Structure 1
Amino acid sequence: MSQTNGKLSKKDHILKAALRLFSRQGFHATTTKEIAKESGVAEGLLFYHFGDKRQLLLQLVRSFSFAPRIAGEEERLKKLQLEDALVEYGLSYLRFLKEHSDYLMLIWSPEMIQDPEVSGEVLQLIGSIHRAGESMLASGPAGERLSPVTREAAMTMLTSSILLQFLLHSRFRGEAAWDEEASVRELVRLLLHGLQGAPKA
């Protein structure tokens, strides 16, 4: 989201308010009047910036992407050993998920899963996450020998595993301790070395 002089713009306030309301009570159940009240702006400003509630939703879905964050770290990550780079990538992705749990609740809600246009936007966001990781895999000595299909499958496995662990620990918070870094490192190790490299029981 854009910022002006270190402060959120009115447009950003509307997006943040809409996200809170959509994730709590659903897109269809939320009115533009409620969004305006929650964001502290006149309802007309919402229409000025977004046109209608539907366009606001689509802008909101597009606004939260992990890709720009990881793109900013890509040069630094490429200087690391591949395993360390993937661990850093995984931990950064996990931090992103934690910061945007309301967004996850919204895009994975039954209401949004059944929306083809939103699902299309989410698919593009997922693709951008994988592409960022794939470029790291390709830059390593082992990664250069991998086909694009294999690199895509590897990043899908890593990010989906992290997402699933995050969702489980969010749902059953406090019931099991979770060493995030050790967990991500083990996922990466399994990804790079396979089960043949796993320690014997």
Structure 2
Amino acid sequence: MIMDKTSRNKKKTRDEILRATFELISDKGYLGTTTREIAQRAGVAEITLFRHFGSKERLFEEVLNRYSFLPRLREMIPDLKKTPLREGLITLGITFLKTLQEKRGMVKIMLSEVNIYPDQVREVYDRFIATLLDTLSGYFDSLIKEGTVREVDTLFASRAFLGMIYSFFLAEEIIKGRTLSDKNAEKTIAEFVDIYLNGMLNR
């Protein structure tokens, strides 16, 4: 019982630190946020932060793994494998877009500072992107194996799929400052998926 309570307390502390980090990075960026500020926001001592995560870079990596599209993608894949391809990709695309909308502040500020990240932080970011693409690539590999789609480079396919939605989000919601309604978002994603699956050639 004591061990269970200790474990729960550790998890609660860890969750509070991650939440505080996400909020501060969304507001001030990774470079503009200090571990002291994170600890104060989380209501813990700064040394406690380092006991849980070891370094600011490791904390950043954990925030990306928890608050990005990656955990949602991992949760979705088992159901996607049982869903018709077009329907599954539309669901995937809408979920990706909604995640970007929910995390707009973090996306916007990371976009502005990613090119000046120190090497260690850039490695964390690049590793996260690679994991995201590898995860979606694994889903596409399963589609090839079952004969649903033809053989393609699934990493390129993953980059193309996420890239078209990400670039649309940047253009509409970051640069132009618009917010799509759910109805317009679904229509847009469905159009993207149809072009993605069928191309533009008249067959």
Is 1:9 the counterpart of 2:12? The answer is yes
> 1:141 is matched by which residue type in structure 2?
G
Q: CA deviation at 1:160?
A: 0.9
Distance, in Å, in 2 between the alignment partners of 1:102 and 1:197 is 41
Structure 2, unaligned runs of 5 or more:
1-6
Distance, in Å, in 1 between the alignment partners of 2:130 and 2:84 is 24
Q: CA deviation at 1:60?
A: 2.8
> Is the Cα contact below 8 Å between 1:21 and 1:30 reproduced in 2?
yes
Aligned-pair identity in percent equals 27
Query: Aligned ranges for residues 137-152 of structure 1 at < 5 Å?
Result: 137-138=140-141, 139=143, 141-143=147-149, 145-147=150-152, 149=153, 151-152=154-155
> Is the Cα contact below 8 Å between 1:82 and 1:137 reproduced in 2?
no
Is 1:173 the counterpart of 2:188? The answer is no
Distance, in Å, in 2 between the alignment partners of 1:83 and 1:156 is 18
Is 1:85 the counterpart of 2:88? The answer is yes
Query: Aligned ranges for residues 1-201 of structure 1 at < 5 Å?
Result: 9-110=12-113, 113-138=116-141, 139=143, 141-143=147-149, 145-147=150-152, 149=153, 151-171=154-174, 172-174=176-178, 179-197=184-202
> Deviation string for 1:5-58 (max 9, x for gaps)?
7xx711221122122223322334433332222122233322322334344334
Pick 1 or 2: higher relative contact order, CA cutoff 8 A, min separation 6.
Answer: 2
Equivalent position of 2:4 in the other structure: none
> 1:183 is matched by which residue type in structure 2?
T
Which structure features the higher share of helix residues?
2
Q: CA deviation at 1:197?
A: 4.7
Distance, in Å, in 1 between the alignment partners of 2:51 and 2:147 is 51
> Is the Cα contact below 8 Å between 1:61 and 1:107 reproduced in 2?
no
Using a 3 Å threshold, how does the CA distance of structure 1 residues 52 and 85 change in structure 2: closer, same or farther?
A: closer
Distance, in Å, in 2 between the alignment partners of 1:155 and 1:182 is 21
Structure 1, unaligned runs of 5 or more:
none
Tell me the TM-score normalized by structure 2.
Answer: 0.76
Q: CA deviation at 1:192?
A: 1.0
Distance, in Å, in 1 between the alignment partners of 2:179 and 2:21 is 31
Distance, in Å, in 2 between the alignment partners of 1:175 and 1:33 is 34
> Is the Cα contact below 8 Å between 1:82 and 1:136 reproduced in 2?
no
Q: CA deviation at 1:112?
A: 5.7
